[in-house]
A and B are shown apart, each in its own frame.
Chain A
Amino acid sequence: MSTTSQAAFVDRHEADVSERDAARVWGTSARPLPDWFQQKRSRGGGLVGAWVPIVLVGLPLAVILAIVIYPTVWMFYHAFHDTNMMSLFSGNWQPVGFANFGYVLTSDRFQDSVSNLAFYLTFGATLQVLLGTALALIIYELVRPRWLQTLVLILLVLPMMMPPSIAGTLWKFLLQANNGAINHLLINLGLMGADQRIEWFSVDLSLVSLVIADTWQWTALPLLIVYSGRVSLPPAIYEAARVDGASTWQVLTRLTLPMLREIIAIAFILRFMDAYKFVDKVYVMTSGGPAQSSELPVYIAFQKGIREFQIGEAAAYAIIIFVFAAVLITLFLQYLKRVMRHQGVTS
C-alpha cells in the first residue's frame, strides 16, 4: 500500500469513527437512513406487517400453552381433588386438600416402590457406571490396534441402539424359567442341576431381572462417556508419569481416576436421571409384578393415571416425583457449575 492511499484510508476511517461517536453522544444517527429503507417505511409502515411478529411469537406460545402449561396446571389442580374416572366424566369432583398426598406417602405401595427405586439406583445405575468405567479403561489401555478398539466399542454400543421395550421383551424370553436361554446356559455350564430352575420373575428376583436387562442395554452409555473422557486426556501426562516411574496402579488411582472424576460423575448423574423415567422395561417384562414387587414410582403414576383413571392420586404421584427430580436436577446443575468453574469454562 502506498503512503498516500494509506493516509486516505486513515482519514476515511477516522471520519467513520467520529460520525459514530457523534451518533452515540447525541443519540441520533449522523447519517440519513438509505432511501430504499425510508421508502419501504413510508409506504408500508415497516419492513413487515404488524401482524407478523404477533403470529411468529403467538403460535409457538399457543402450542406450549396447550401441550405443556395447560396439562401441568390441570395436574396441579386435580392433585388437590378427588378426581377419578366417574367424577372426571360427570364433572363433580370435590376438593380434598392434601389428602391425595397423604394417602400416597403413607401407602405401602409407594414406600415399596421407593425402596425398589433405591435398589435400582444402587445396583442398576451404579453398577452400569462402574462397569462402563472399567470397560472403557480396559478397552483404551489393553486393546491396542485402533480399528479393533472401534469395533469393540461398536459391538458394545449396539444394545443401546435397541428400543428399550424390545430389549425388555428379548430379556423376558431369555429369562423364562423353563425354556429361557439363561437358565439353559447355567445348566449347560454345570452351575446348576438339570432339574433346577431359577424363577427370574419371582417376587425376590423380578427387580434383579430388570436390573440385568437394563444393565445389558445401558452400560454402554457410561462406557462411551468415560472412554471419550479418557481419550481427551493429554498423552504427555502419561509419558511424564512413566518417566517419573509411576506404576500402572499408581497411574490409575492417582492420575486417571481423579482426572476422570467429573466425567464419571456426569455419567452417573445421567443414569440417575434416567432411572426416574424407567417405565418401559418394567411394563414389558414384569408389569410391576409379581405382587407389585418390581414397581417404581413412575410406573405406579402411569398405572394410576392411564390405567385406573385415579386422576387425583396419579397427579399426587407425579408431583412427588417432580419434586424429587427438581431437587436432583438442581443439585446436578450446581455440581456441573462447580465442575465448569473448576475447569475454567466459566468465570
Chain B
Amino acid sequence: MKAIVKYRAVYLMMLPIIAYFLIFAYYPLVRGFVISFQQFRLIGDRPFVGLDNYAQVLKDSAFWDTFANTLIIGGSILAIGFIMPIALALLLNEVFASWFKKIVQMVVYLPHLFSWVVVGGMWIMMLSPDTGIVNQLLLALGAEKPIGFMSQEAYARPVMVFTAVWKEVGFTCILYLAAIVSINPSLYEAARIDGANRWHLVRYVTLPQLVSTMKVVLMLHVMSVLKMFDQIFVMRNGAIAGKVDVIMMYTYQKGILEFQIGMATAAGFLVILATLIITFVIRILIRYDEE
C-alpha cells in the first residue's frame, strides 16, 4: 500500500491501460462467458440454460471435425514453421555477401506484411490448374496433366500448411537472426581453437544459444494455433472445406451465419480452454521457465 502511495503518479499513468484492457478485453470476455450459458436472443430475455450450449457443441460432429482439422493443420504449421525459420536463419548467417543476405531477408520478410486476402488470392491464382504458374512449370517439366491443388482433398491441408509457413518464415527468421547477432563472438573463437569446423560451430554454439528465442517463438505460435481463421476463410472452397475448415470457421458459421450466439460463444470458450491446456503442456515440455 505504501508503495502505491509512493509511486501514485506511475499507478495513475497505468490507469488508462488497465481501463482499456478491462473495457475492450476482459469485459467482452466475461460477457461472452455469460452468453455461453444463455439461450441467446437478440432482443428480450435470455434465459440461462446451464451447460446446454456446451453440450450441444460437444455433441456436434462438425465441431469435432473442425477440431481435428485445426490440430492437424495447426500442428503441422507449428512443427514446420518452427524448423524452417531456424534453417533459413542459419543458412543466411553463413552467407558472406551482405547485399545478397539483405535481399534474401527482405524478400522472405515481404509476405508477412501482406494480409491473407492478398496472399491467399495470390496463391489461389498461382495454383490454378489452367493459368497458374505452378502447374505451367509442372507441365513444362513433364507432368501429364495439371493438378487441382486447391480443389483436391489430398493437397488441401499441405497447401494450407505450406502457404502459412511461407508467409511467416521471414518474420520469424529475423527474430533468430537478431538472436544470432547477439551471440558472444568469443564462444565461436573458443570453439575454433578447440578445433570445431563450421558444422560444429552451428551445432554446438549457435543452436544452443538460440534455445531461449526458440522457446519464445514456440510459445507465441502455440498460443495462436487454435485461432487460425483468416487464411482458411480466404482460401477454402466447397471442395476442400471438409479437410480445412478449422474451429474458428465453426464459430463463425454458428455465430454470424446462423445467429446461434450461445453455441458460438461456447465453442469459443472451448478453444480458449484448449489453448490454455496446450500452452501449459508445452510450457512444461520445453521447460519454458528454466534458463
B is a partner of A: no
Chain B interface (Cβ < 8 Å from any Cβ of A): none
Chain A interface (Cβ < 8 Å from any Cβ of B): none
